[in-house]
């Protein structure tokens, strides 16, 4: 089971915006119990000719309780795509 409660505050300024998301996260594992975390994400956006773009983002977990979820020992992450500035036209 996986649930999340989210509270969002958006502050828009002419060509800039700031978003603060406050959240609680609950993860239930069949074998390890319940893991709870709480924190906030702060995101800065800028308006460009192509629309709004994220300039900076930070996630801060400020509280946890219970055993955190664990990835399987044989887990291999997929390679991440790299973002290119500009677009092919």
Q: Does some domain include residue 49?
A: yes
Predicted local distance difference test score (pLDDT) of residue 85: 57
Q: Is residue 89 part of a domain?
A: no
The helix (H) or strand (E) run that includes residue 51 is: strand 51-65
* Residue 62 to residue 73: CA distance in whole angstroms: 27
- The yes-or-no verdict on residue 1 having pLDDT over 60 is no
Q: Evaluate if residue 87 carries a pLDDT over 70.
A: no
For 7-41, what is each residue's pLDDT tens digit? 666 666 678 888 888 888 877 877 768 888 999 98
Q: What is the mean pLDDT of residues 80-84?
A: 69
With cut-offs at 50, 70 and 90, classify the pLDDT of residue 54: very high
Domain of 36, in residue numbers: 2-65
Q: Which of 81, 20, 88, 85 is nearest to 53 (CA)?
A: 85
Asked whether residue 74 is assigned to any structural domain, the reply reads: no
Q: Using alpha carbons only, how large is the chain's radius of gyration in Å?
A: 18
In a domain, 40, yes or no: yes
Note whether residue 60 is domain-resident.
Answer: yes
Number of domains composing the chain: 1
Which CATH number characterizes residue 23's domain?
A: 3.10.450.50
């Amino acid at each position: 089971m996986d649930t999340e409660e989210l509270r969002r505050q958006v502050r828009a300024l002419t060509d800039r915006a700031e978003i603060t998301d406050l959240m609680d996260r609950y993860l239930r594992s069949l074998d390890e119990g319940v893991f709870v975390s709480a924190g906030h994400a702060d995101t800065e956006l800028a308006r460009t000719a192509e629309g709004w773009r994220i300039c900076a983002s930070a996630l801060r977990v400020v509280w946890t309780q219970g055993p955190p979820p664990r990835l399987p020992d044989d887990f291999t992450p997929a390679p991440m795509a790299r973002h290119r500035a500009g677009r092919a036209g």
